[in-house]
Amino acid sequence: MQKAREQESRIRGRLTRELALLVIASLVIALDQVSKFLVRANLSLGQSIPEEGFFRITYITNAGASWGIFSNAVFLTVATAVVVIATLVIYLRYALVRRTLFRLALGLLIGGSMGNMIDRLSQGRVTDFIDVGAWPVFNIADCAIVIGVVLIAANLIFSVKREKQPSEPKDD
């Protein structure tokens, strides 16, 4: 009886973690797609609001990958996104992914990758609009991907540090 409860508890915990990851990825996709729709509907290509300044909303498109590399290679960028997403989904089966921060990062990566992939498949290019200083113009999906990568790197660095620390002697 106790074993059955423990099994049920593990299953419920896993479903909760899976649902949380799905919700995060879905939120990123929704925010990304709605923001891009609003930019396309309200700005002309190349238009900036305000026209000058450090932070602007500037409507541009990008037919390549990050910062325009692989320009006009829609198949290559979509195929790469599919491989990355599939790899992340497969990686979800590993124990390290049980950590909440790591799952949050994977949700951001999957949502961001899918958000830009939706653009590539539906528009043939990605809509970018966040224009900050000297940085290339980017979008919400790009933000999610970068934040996800930073969280994974931080998680890996801190987990290695934890493993290297000697365990403290226990008081009897």
- If residue 168 lies in a helix (H) or strand (E), which one and from where to where? none
CB 116 within 8 A of CB 142: yes
Strand partners, 39: none
- Of 122, 141, 124, the closest CA to residue 31 belongs to 141
C-alpha 108/C-alpha 88 separation (Å) is: 11
C-alpha 2/C-alpha 5 separation (Å) is: 5
What positions carry a catalytic annotation? 128, 142
